[in-house]
Structure 1
Amino acid sequence: MKFVVTGINGQVACALKALEQSEHQIIALGRPNLDLARPSTVFSAIREAKPDAVISSAAYTAVDKAESEPDAAFAVNRDGAQAVALVASELGVPVIHLSTDYVYDGKKLTPYVETDHTGPTSTYGISKLQGEQAVIAANPNHAILRTAWVYSPYSSNFVKTMLRLAETRDEVKVVADQIGCPTSANDIAAMVSTIAKELSSNHDPELRGVFHVAGSGEATWADFARYVFLVYEEITGRRIRVHNISTAEYPTPVHRPANSRLDCHKLEQTFGRRLPHWQQSVRAVVSTLLSEGTHA
């Protein structure tokens, strides 16, 4: 089977390429050949690839910058996502679209389920929610996967930032009043591959819709950092201390959701799989980065 993934340098796109197996081919398309801000390139690039499924993973992800660049965020996250779904529909193939916990306001006290009210509070979150809606309208053969707190051996992310800080510091301050589900892009890629194959061969409507895809278990950012440094200490012998701080002590232009936990029972019930516990996956990524020396 042949799968097209939008984006070349994104975490999930890179993880999919690394996961590529003999039974399927991954074609990563990105700028300038495929530019979500220029829909004509989306149509021509994906048509030429003739895929069995399209994985829509590229996005405008600069959460803070989106507040001053709303046109760019909506051009990519809404209009670009719509173009990807439309060309997949034209080709008669499913689209798997990656979305985010930012479609929620983060005020719920328990993990979010797919049917919970959405109420994004940032331009980024609004653009991603409107992207979801555009995909649903453009192609009924879709799976929308909401995820959160993504990290991997690729691109920029929280784990790589913590390991970089560990090179020059003995202690760091990390927010402890936001809670979520750390999620490995490697695990997302494996699940996306499973879903793409299912949607390509099975027309059951129960396999379509919105799903949460996140690491099992939960943590605060400070918990997340402590575990990264626990594995780091086991490998290097150096101990890094983490000091808890509040969101108010680490202000950002966009308020981050206090609760980013995603309930993934629907995913497990539908596809018979769940992502591993976040600590297991963090250990694997940290070990990879330190062994390869690619965390700096």
Structure 2
Amino acid sequence: MKKALILGKNGQVAWELMRACPQGWQAQACGREEVDLQEFSSLAGQVAELEPDLLINAAAYTAVDKAESERDEAYALNQQAVANIAAIAAEQGIPLVHLSTDFVFDGSKSSPYTAADEPAPLSVYGASKLAGEQEILDRALPNALILRTSWVYSSHGQNFVKSMLRLMSDPQREHLSIVCDQVGTPTWARALARAIWAAGDMMCAGQNPGGTRILNWTDAGVASWYDFAVAIQELALERGLLEGRIPIHPIPHTDYPTPATRPAYSVLDKAGFAQEFAVQPQHWRNQLGCMLDDLAEAEAGQ
């Protein structure tokens, strides 16, 4: 039985990793209650106690807009904590999967970003995540994967899908205005979790090239936030999660200013991951339907 230590227990990816844990694996998720990732000794003690075969870092400071005014907090978790994780993985030779983000790019391309493209983050969040990637690259880890993803959502935690459902259910709201000129790919955290487990299996079996690689994983397809919101409403109505339809208006991002600048285009090229780990992404709209089924089932069971 192989053992995995998942860092970031309270996040939606860690939650889905626990739910999707495959046969042959024993997974333990740790949050800030169990381990302080910014304290090397705290993390080292947790690793020594569990003796994991795989480390998965799903912990991150993800409040994109708040990071603009909480720079130190963002870097503490997205860089310094990653430095500690990478040091322990290097010292003990433990395979590591670390989650990163499409926000390391500036969105100036018009074709999907590959791992070879030059990062140019526009926000503190993106810059702090890039700094975390560099902490891993700076160490000679025997077997590490930096996995960039985008627009993650789940039936657990707070995310765009659940925010849209809440706003669409508000009887006082006459319409929604959603940004239409920022394009990426929505990613169901369950699908991301399954991809991580597939990678972890092969990494622990020595069936991958080793060293440190940067790869991308999202669901398939492309959408704007407006497209995403329209699909959420359509599919939620089909499943009885909404009682009625609300008008959704497309607007440019300039009509919805935010503290953090977001990339206009952040579609990621998944071909490298699909080739290395033999996992093909499903279209984001299909995966959204699966997540809403999950949410409907959970609500029905309450």
Q: CA RMSD for the aligned pairs?
A: 1.6
- Report the counterpart of residue 165 of structure 1 in structure 2: 167
1:225 aligns with 2:226: no
8 Å Cα contact 1:232/1:238 also seen in 2: no
Q: Counterparts of 1:158-237 in structure 2 under 5 Å? A: 158-168=160-170, 169=173, 171-202=175-206, 204-205=208-209, 208-236=212-240
* Partner secondary structure for residue 165 of structure 1: helix
In structure 2, C-alpha distance between the alignment counterparts of 1:192 and 1:279, rounded to whole Å: 21
Please give the TM-score of this superposition, normalised by the length of structure 1. Answer: 0.95
Displaced runs of 4 or more, over 6 A: none
8 Å Cα contact 1:37/1:75 also seen in 2: yes
In structure 1, C-alpha distance between the alignment counterparts of 2:198 and 2:115, rounded to whole Å: 20
Q: Counterparts of 1:243-254 in structure 2 under 5 Å? A: 243-254=249-260
1:77 aligns with 2:78: yes
Report how many residues are paired: 294
8 Å Cα contact 2:122/2:262 also seen in 1: no
What is the identity, as a one-letter code, of the residue corresponding to 2:116?
Answer: T
8 Å Cα contact 1:60/1:77 also seen in 2: yes
1:149 to 128, 151, 155: 151
What is the identity, as a one-letter code, of the residue corresponding to 2:35?
Answer: L
* Partner secondary structure for residue 44 of structure 2: helix
- Report the counterpart of residue 290 of structure 2 in structure 1: 284
Shift of 1:115: 0.3
Deviations along 1:24-75, whole A, 9 cap, x unmatched? Answer: 1111011132122333212211221110100011011111111222111111
Change (3 A) 1:166 1:293: farther
8 Å Cα contact 1:181/1:261 also seen in 2: yes
* Partner secondary structure for residue 210 of structure 1: strand
- Report the counterpart of residue 121 of structure 1 in structure 2: 122
Change (3 A) 1:3 1:194: same
Please give the TM-score of this superposition, normalised by the length of structure 2. Answer: 0.93
Shift of 1:293: 2.4
- Report the counterpart of residue 17 of structure 1 in structure 2: 18
* Partner secondary structure for residue 192 of structure 1: helix
What is the identity, as a one-letter code, of the residue corresponding to 1:82?
Answer: A
